[in-house]
Amino acid sequence: MENKKVYIETLGCQMNKSDAERMYGMLEHIGYTQTENPKEADMLIINTCSIRQLSEDKAYSQIGVWGKWKGMTVNENGTRVYNPYPKIVFAGCVAQQAGEKLFRRAPYVDLVLGTQRLYELPNLVKRIENGERIVSVDEKPFEESDIQINRVKGINAWVPIMEGCNNFCTYCIVPYTRGRERSRKPELIMAEIKKALSEGFKEITLLGQNVDSYGKGVNETQNGFEISDTKEYGKDLAGNTINLSWLLRQINALEGKFRIRFVTNYPTDITDEVIDTVIELDKVCEYFHIPMQSGDDYVLKKMNRRYDYATYKKICDHIRSRIPDVTITSDFIAGFPGETEEQFENTLKAMTELELDYSNTAAYSPRERTVAAKWVDKYIPEDVKTDRLARLNEHNRACCLISNKKYLGREMEVLVENYEVRKNGDKVITGRTRNNKIVHIPCDRDLTGEFVNVRITNARTWYLNGELI
Ligand code: SF4
């Protein structure tokens, strides 16, 4: 088939969005072009997220719609068969969990693609084009061999450096859907970053469930580096030299003006070496995303998090004492099974006391296979969870405003990400400071991609206003 078109719908986190860019890149190599219109696509891919039930339901409902487009006929033997096009691919975290079962639930799906088989996609697509129906959810990663990425144009390039998690927090599905921690080969990461910079990207964000684990699963081989399956499998590469700090140094040494960020950090895995690196390297930004999840020690224990409130506070205080303008953001869950009102209030207190700059918040959503999902008798009623989430959000808003007000009158460097002419005729550029604050600035020229110096003139809950200086 000539001029084949693919449409990808991505749900969930930045890792999924990054996977979608990789899928586009690989499919381009085998003759597909991207379309924004699913109705004209020869192949429809849904890249699913299983972090919450709502997101999982959305994925099933979407393929239900696509299945109807595909239509069904009855062959001469009386068997129901679906038209061969469009091909439907069910990928991502829900696919990893559902596996073979998905074919029974959605007989019009052609390929179930697990998270660790992403790089097998071109081979599998050729086979489904020949009429096969395939489930590929093996937990052994299909190794990446080349840079095949078709990035969404922009300023910030997301670059995965590791994937998976060994922590098994009791509420979290990630270790089951993304597998154990694996680091990407440094040479692949560096080549990908060089390519992104040559394409005009000005900010590189290193991505991983636990970026501090980078390198802890990488072994040295005679020919360079190879990916290993678990932390235990190998020591840090080349006698502890390959780790997050090492990688940051390699990237910082690349020519040109650009910024480097990394997410996400597990609180107790942040080392002094990483903090030193952030201070020392000019391109690495003053920003840490450190999920806390709860401010109550008993709940943290039940969540299987490896720290208590005092330890988390010590980590924040330590980072702030060394990097004065650092932004620290976090994640919190409201209504974890068994959480009492008093325990929830400890989370509110923690958010305020730690002066967190921003937090992602969510009500607890039970995920099949996780430990906490089995504590059905301890589930918090929906109305209580909703109320707690609303109170958490209120605290979050207050913390954000306090944080933003600290920068009133300050001069800051902003990397411009966007230019718009508003309905009232105002012309505004929007960008971020090194410490990840959003700033709107009146400006009659499109300066997207440029670094500008700005004086902060106003602080709102979610953003700052500034003027060019
Ligand atoms: S650290 Fe915990 S919350 Fe984060 S991905 Fe791993 S299991 Fe999930």
User: What pLDDT digit, counting tens, does each position of 345-380 carry?
Assistant: 999 999 999 999 999 999 999 998 899 999 999 999
Q: Indicate if ligand 1 lies below 6 Å from the C-beta of 172.
A: yes
Q: What is the mean pLDDT of residues 47-58?
A: 89
Please tell me the least confidently modeled range out of 165-169, 324-328, 336-340.
Answer: 165-169
User: Would the pLDDT of 1 be above 70?
Assistant: no
User: Would the pLDDT of 78 be above 90?
Assistant: no
Tell the residue number behind the tokens 């000019």, with chain if given. Answer: 282
Ligand 1 centroid distance, CA of 66 (Å):
32
Percentage with pLDDT > 70 across the chain: 93
Neighbours of 104 (CB within 10 A): 8
CA 195 → CA 111, 147, 189, 257, distances in Å?
A: 30, 9, 10, 15
Q: Indicate if ligand 1 lies below 6 Å from the C-beta of 176.
A: no
Q: Indicate if ligand 1 lies below 6 Å from the C-beta of 167.
A: yes
Tell the residue number behind the tokens 């005729």, with chain if given. Answer: 425
Q: Indicate if ligand 1 lies below 6 Å from the C-beta of 166.
A: no
Would you state the pLDDT for residue 119? 85
Q: Indicate if ligand 1 lies below 6 Å from the C-beta of 430.
A: no
Q: Indicate if ligand 1 lies below 6 Å from the C-beta of 332.
A: no
Q: Indicate if ligand 1 lies below 6 Å from the C-beta of 165.
A: yes
Would you state the pLDDT for residue 139? 74
CA distance 177 to 114: 8
Top-level CATH class of 411-468? mainly beta
Ligand 1 centroid distance, CA of 196 (Å):
28
Q: What is the mean pLDDT of residues 189-212?
A: 94
φ and ψ at residue 246, rounded to 5 degrees:
-60, -45
Pocket test for ligand 1, best of 49, 167, 290, 369 (most atoms within 8 A of CB): 167
Residue 325 is encoded by which pair of tokens? Answer: 């303008």
The CATH code that applies to domain 156-405 is 3.80.30.20
Atom of ligand 1 nearest to the CA of 209: 5
Closest CA to ligand 1's atom 4: 209
The CATH code that applies to domain 4-136 is 3.40.50.12160
Residues with Cβ within 8 Å of residue 271, at least 6 apart in sequence: 212, 245
Domain ranges of the chain: 4-136, 156-405, 411-468
Nearest Cα residue to 59 out of 71, 46, 44, 41: 46
Ligand 1 centroid distance, CA of 341 (Å):
24
Would you state the pLDDT for residue 219? 45
How confident is the prediction for the chain on average, in pLDDT?
89
Q: Indicate if ligand 1 lies below 6 Å from the C-beta of 208.
A: no
CA distance 428 to 60: 40
The predicted-structure confidence for 206-241, as pLDDT tens digits, reads as follows 999 999 989 874 444 433 444 444 333 333 444 456
Would you state the pLDDT for residue 290? 97
CA distance 216 to 232: 8
Would you state the pLDDT for residue 82? 79
Nearest Cα residue to 315 out of 283, 343, 289: 289
Q: What is the mean pLDDT of residues 179-205?
A: 91
Would you state the pLDDT for residue 294? 98
User: Would the pLDDT of 198 be above 60?
Assistant: yes
Would you state the pLDDT for residue 228? 43
* More confident position, 58 or 242: 58
Residue 183 is encoded by which pair of tokens? Answer: 């680091």
User: Would the pLDDT of 317 be above 80?
Assistant: yes
Would you state the pLDDT for residue 81? 77
Ligand 1 centroid distance, CA of 462 (Å):
26
The predicted-structure confidence for 279-314, as pLDDT tens digits, reads as follows 999 999 999 999 999 999 999 999 999 999 999 999
* More confident position, 440 or 183: 440
Pocket test for ligand 1, best of 162, 166, 172, 270 (most atoms within 8 A of CB): 172
Q: What is the mean pLDDT of residues 70-96?
A: 84
Q: What is the mean pLDDT of residues 131-158?
A: 79
Would you state the pLDDT for residue 2? 59
Give the global pTM: 0.86
Ligand 1 centroid distance, CA of 174 (Å):
6
Closest CA to ligand 1's atom 8: 172
Atom of ligand 1 nearest to the CA of 165: 6
User: Would the pLDDT of 74 be above 80?
Assistant: no
Please tell me the least confidently modeled range out of 138-152, 404-418, 452-466.
Answer: 138-152
